[in-house]
């Protein structure tokens, strides 16, 4: 069986990088070149492969270093909306509208499996203008630890820091009804993006359910598809029953 040299080198480098501290420098390309008895071009191709994995990065005149963020964010190049607002210098606020312990609606109960839940409804503002209405449900025994001011001051993921592990997110569309139209300052019947998310804890059990409504004229989802595209049809779409 033949083998490609730069792939061998890339594998070796991946191994080393995984056991190295983030931010630490790799040997220079010419050093690696002599060490592997390969030309600089070959070493470079290997390095570029590892970079494509998100494990390392390079700066001209400086060198190759282990990437600080070992978990590459393949899914989307954009961060959270809050971080976006912050970097663009806009002011982000949230206003809690409702905060109640109650019996969950059927579709929430089916997912969370709790007889009593905390429901928090709030509106998110960017520069004073509303851009999202968010409803979050979580089991009552978890929600009892939070006060209204906790929820008002901190995002939910901070309060549950470290407990959240993965999520499934479905994106749909709806039109604004009277209640939502009022909150989002759009006319009744305006198109909305509706996002339902089920967030799991470290053990994979769902512990958080949330519904987000965005006015379509101000928001859109962006998904980067770095690899081969299997179809012109949007990936991730499914027909609902």
Partner DNA sequence: CATCAGACTTGTATTATAGTTGTCTACATG
Partner DNA sequence: CATGTAGACAACTATAATACAAGTCTGATG
60 binds DNA (CB under 7 A): yes
Return the residue of 26, 43, 183, 207 that touches its own copies, per CB under 8 A. 26
197 binds its own copies (CB under 8 A): yes
In sequence order, what are the residues at sequence separation of 6 or more whose Cβ sits closer than 8 angstroms to the Cβ of residue 142?
Answer: 118, 160, 207
84 binds DNA (CB under 7 A): no
C-alpha dihedral (162, 166, 171, 174), degrees to nearest 10: -50
Return the residue of 79, 105, 113, 145 that touches its own copies, per CB under 8 A. 79
Rg (C-alpha) for the chain, rounded Å, is 23
Cβ at position 113, least distance to its own copies in Å: 20
Pick 29 or 82: Cβ nearer DNA? 29
Cβ at position 6, least distance to DNA in Å: 4
Q: Which residues pair with 204 in a beta bridge?
A: none
Task: Tell me the two tokens of residue 95.
Answer: 């206003």
Is residue 227 within 8 A of residue 149, CB to CB? The reply is no
At which residue do the structure tokens 């002011």 appear?
91
Cβ at position 105, least distance to its own copies in Å: 18
State how beta strands 129-139 and 92-102 pair: unpaired
Cβ at position 227, least distance to DNA in Å: 18
- CA-CA distances (angstroms) from residue 168 to 82, 149, 221? 20, 28, 15
Pick 42 or 199: Cβ nearer its own copies? 199
Per CB under 7 A, residues contacting DNA are 2, 4-6, 26, 28-31, 37-42, 44-45, 58-64
């Amino acid at each position: 069986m033949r083998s490609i040299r730069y792939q061998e080198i890339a594998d070796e480098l991946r191994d080393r990088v995984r056991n190295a501290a983030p931010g630490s420098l790799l040997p220079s390309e010419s050093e690696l070149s002599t060490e592997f008895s390969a030309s600089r071009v070959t070493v470079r191709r290997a390095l570029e492969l590892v970079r494509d994995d998100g494990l390392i990065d390079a700066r001209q005149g400086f060198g190759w270093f282990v990437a600080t963020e070992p978990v590459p964010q393949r899914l989307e190049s954009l961060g959270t909306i809050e971080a976006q607002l912050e970097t663009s210098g806009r002011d982000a606020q949230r206003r809690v509208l409702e905060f109640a312990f109650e019996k969950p609606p059927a579709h929430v109960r089916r997912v969370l499996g709790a007889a009593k839940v905390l429901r928090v409804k709030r509106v998110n503002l960017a520069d004073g203008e509303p851009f999202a209405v968010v409803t979050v449900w979580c089991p009552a025994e978890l929600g009892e630890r939070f006060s209204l001011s906790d929820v008002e001051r901190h995002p939910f993921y901070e309060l549950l820091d470290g407990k959240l592990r993965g999520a499934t997110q479905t994106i749909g569309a709806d039109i604004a009804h009277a209640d939502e139209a009022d909150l989002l300052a759009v006319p009744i019947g305006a198109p909305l993006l509706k996002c339902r998310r089920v967030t799991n804890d470290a053990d994979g059990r769902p512990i958080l359910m949330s519904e987000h409504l965005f006015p379509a004229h101000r928001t859109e989802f962006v998904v980067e598809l770095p690899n081969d595209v299997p179809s012109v049809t949007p990936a991730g779409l499914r027909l609902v029953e």
